[in-house]
Amino acid sequence: MIIPISHESNKVRRLPWVSFFIMACCLFVHILISVEIGKTGKELESTAKELLNYYIQHPYLKLDPETKKLLFREQKNEDVEEMLATYRRRESRKIHLFQDEEQQKLDQLSQKLKNTIGDVPYRKYGFIPAQKSFISLVTYMFIHGGWLHLIGNLLLLYLTGPFIEDVWGRPIFTAFYIIAGLFSGFMFSLYYPNSMGPLIGASGAIAGLMGAFLIRYWRTKIKFFFFFFIIHGTFKAPAWVMLPIWLALEIFSANAIDSVNAEGGGVAHWAHIWGFILGVVVAAGMKRFKIEEKYVHPKIEAQVHFVDKGYKAFEEATQKINEGKSDEAYALLLVAARKNPMDKDVVEGLWNQGKEIGKEKEAAEFYIRMIESEIRHDLMDAAFAHFADLKEKVPQASISMTCKFTLMTYLTGHQDYKEAKELASELIEEVDLNSSPGLLQKFASAASEHSPEIAKKVIELSLKHPGITDEQKDVLKTKLKELQSRLPESPPVSDMGEAHAVVSNTEQLTSELESQLGLNPEPQPAVEPEGQSELSPEVQPAVEPEVQSELSPEVQPVVEPDKPERSPSPNQPIMAIKATPLNVKDGKIALNMDQIGQQLLPLNKVKSIAVAEIALDQELPFLLIDLFMDDPKTKDQKIRTIRLLSTSFDATKFSPGIQDQQDALKVFVSVLLKLSGATAYADEDSILLDAPQRFSSIENYEKSILS
């Protein structure tokens, strides 16, 4: 199911009174008819039962075809006749002295049923093609078959009517709406001239507005909500894509129904189709002969006193967008935003247009002000949605620290911990001893719910703050002890049985791996017989017994303080092989390595581990984990490394019970350090993700390693 919920063209110069009046009339009429149907429904049911019982008791009487059709419906007529045939043969042998009087009563009951059905509001005010009436061709547009029918039509009317009314003016809009309804109903009757089913609903006239909207606002992006079983969400698509698709589906549905039932189905697809076509033709004619520019706009402009100074620029920019002049539209909106930076519609229009033409960085300045204004006015849902959009398109952009803190507190209160933690990670880089004592204490309290590590840092900073009293520090110290008890001390070792099974046939390192990494083959352990249980990860030794002997002092990294370090030479690059971790078990890590395939790497071969955050321009940051096979400080040979990227694997699979990706990565790296005995490069804080070094590119990171 796909439902339109909004679109970008959300500005009108005047209140759309005609559109609102039509919506109010449809609602009012529906309420009245709902009451009337409740009354006539009982009477109709009683009359139909009385007629049916009498006819079955007197099967030798004749019931006119129209009444049969109303009583039994076409598909049941033959079945009923077959059932009554037996009774007729039996009754034909009898003499019926009062048959004329009985036939007269049956005819009276038949006429009563017709009159009762005729009084049903749908038939009384709906348009019946077989009984063409001009009055009903008007009244049918205000009647709906239920609340879902009504709400669906009012939603489409709300999304199209006010904007066509604004650009065409009230008189033309009113005339067009009525004509579209008349035309769609009339065309429907041509397809089903003998139909006795009433046509009801405003959808034919609204389809005309949709056709006009396609021509007048063809580039406007419409926002849709979709729902498919448990999958749901929103997306945007331009009118010139979605409305023709809708028309194509209507044509397909109409033909499919006609092929099965010549009388049509429960949905008036042909009324929708011809209403839409009329809207396209009229709007194209208005555009071709420039009726808006010559006759409509001058009159509206003369009547309107603009309270919203940004509207004129917004309307002009919308026109430029519809003409395909995106750069000119952006320039108009930029000028308007500089004059009216608090005009939300202008700023949103500028931002959306900036994204279209690649100038989102310039537009971000105004978008940030709008977000901060929304936060100050407690419009938190809108502020967070806009902030997420901002960070997606311009990752380096940021709002003020106070607004960021307010937004983080709001997300924490709504248990949206993932986004709250991301904001907390940014805030921890901004707070210092000059920050407000109150802000620091609130920050620590909020962060403790989703980011114990960050809360710990904030408390440690607060304890140094001169503005915090001794009593408050005692409370913070208690909180710090509580947080320290929650932080993982001995992270669990992963035992991914399924992933390990995938590489179970690669116990012996292949020659390809040896040639790429220069590793010496190690003695292989004996294969356990079937049925022998493996030691669980918790009780496995950190390094396998047969490998411990290889860790002699000669192969450990040695720091020579008296020997000055040399600058790296150009012929000593880092040789990195990208890999995806599959499993950590028995002192080895299973890897899926680029151009090599699935292999097992003994962790005791890893000399050093480095972690860095890479923040490429206009892309989300990611973590790079290097498992160095050589000491990074080595200057006389190539530095070999296995490179893992946080974007290529899910760290939570290595840490059962931990759902947060950042915490899972921390546990993963901790396990590698523990099992390998490798040194942390450059320091343990950066390795355990407490303060990872940040680089703008992988090249800059490698230069830092070499230097």
115-137 confidence digits (pLDDT tens): 888 888 898 899 999 888 899 99
What is the model's pLDDT at position 275? 97
d(CA 368, CA 407): 13
The pLDDT tens digits of the residues spanning 16-67 come to: 999 999 999 999 999 999 988 887 878 888 888 888 888 878 877 888 888 8
Tell me the two tokens of residue 419.
């986004």
Position 685 pLDDT exceeds 70: no
pLDDT band at 444 (very low <50, low <70, confident <90, very high): confident
Q: Is the dihedral of CA 603, 605, 610, 614 positive or negative?
A: negative
Lowest model confidence (mean pLDDT) among 78-92, 200-214, 286-300, 527-541: 527-541
Lowest model confidence (mean pLDDT) among 116-125, 343-352, 690-699: 690-699
**Residue appearing with tokens 């949103």:** 348
- The greatest distance separating any two alpha carbons of the chain, rounded to the nearest whole angstrom, comes to 133
What is the model's pLDDT at position 452? 83
Pick the CATH number of 137-291 from 1.20.1540.10, 1.20.140.10, 3.40.50.1820, 1.10.3720.10: 1.20.1540.10
What is the model's pLDDT at position 586? 79
d(CA 143, CA 224): 26
What is the model's pLDDT at position 84? 66
Share of the chain above pLDDT 70, in %: 80
What is the model's pLDDT at position 687? 64
The kind and range of the H/E element at 624 are: strand 622-628
Residues with Cβ within 8 Å of residue 236, at least 6 apart in sequence: 221, 222, 223, 224
What is the model's pLDDT at position 545? 34
What is the model's pLDDT at position 13? 76
Tell me the two tokens of residue 395.
């990752």
Share of the chain above pLDDT 90, in %: 23
Identity (one letter) of the amino acid at 228? Answer: F
Could you state, in order of their start, the residue ranges of all structural domains in the chain?
36-119, 137-291, 305-486, 506-519+566-706
pLDDT band at 556 (very low <50, low <70, confident <90, very high): very low
Position 606 pLDDT exceeds 50: yes
pLDDT band at 86 (very low <50, low <70, confident <90, very high): low
Q: Which three-class secondary structure state does DSSP give residue 2?
A: strand
How confident is the model over 245-249, as a mean pLDDT? 96
Residue in 412, 463, 421, 476 with CA at minimum distance from that of residue 666: 421
Lowest model confidence (mean pLDDT) among 200-209, 544-553, 695-704: 544-553
The pLDDT tens digits of the residues spanning 506-533 come to: 333 334 444 444 444 444 443 343 333 3
The pLDDT tens digits of the residues spanning 469-479 come to: 888 888 888 88
Q: CB count, 10 Å around CB of 335?
A: 14
Question: What is the topology classification, in CATH, of domain 305-486?
Answer: 1.25.40
What is the model's pLDDT at position 534? 37
Query: Angle of helix 437-447 relative to helix 401-413, nearest 10 degrees?
Result: 30
What is the model's pLDDT at position 621? 78
pLDDT band at 493 (very low <50, low <70, confident <90, very high): very low
What is the model's pLDDT at position 500? 38
Identity (one letter) of the amino acid at 171? Answer: P
What is the model's pLDDT at position 566? 37
How confident is the model over 176-205, as a mean pLDDT? 94
What is the model's pLDDT at position 305? 52
Residue by residue, DSSP assigns 48-88 as HHHHHHHHHH-TTS---HHHHHHHH-HHHHHHHHHHHHHHH
Higher pLDDT, 200 or 548: 200
Average predicted confidence (pLDDT) for the chain: 79
What is the model's pLDDT at position 501? 38
Residues with Cβ within 8 Å of residue 12, at least 6 apart in sequence: 162, 163, 165, 166
Identity (one letter) of the amino acid at 513? Answer: L
8 A C-beta contact, residue 398 and residue 361: no
**Residue appearing with tokens 């840490």:** 655
Whole-prediction pTM: 0.51
What is the model's pLDDT at position 551? 32
Strand partners, 221: 238
Q: Which three-class secondary structure state does DSSP give residue 680?
A: strand
Lowest model confidence (mean pLDDT) among 146-150, 205-209, 446-450, 453-457: 446-450
What is the model's pLDDT at position 535? 32
pLDDT band at 491 (very low <50, low <70, confident <90, very high): very low
Residue by residue, DSSP assigns 586-650 as TTEEEEEETTTEEEEEEGGG--EEEEEEE--TTS--EEEEEEESS-TT--SS-EEEEEEEGGGS-
8 A C-beta contact, residue 174 and residue 18: yes
d(CA 481, CA 474): 11
8 A C-beta contact, residue 487 and residue 452: yes
Long-range contacts of 660-666 (CB under 8 A, 24+ apart): 660/417, 660/418, 660/421, 662/421, 662/425, 662/689, 663/488, 665/623, 665/689, 666/491
8 A C-beta contact, residue 663 and residue 451: no
pLDDT band at 648 (very low <50, low <70, confident <90, very high): confident
What is the model's pLDDT at position 487? 53
Which segments within 209-306 are labelled E, that is strand?
Answer: 221-228, 231-238
Position 496 pLDDT exceeds 60: no
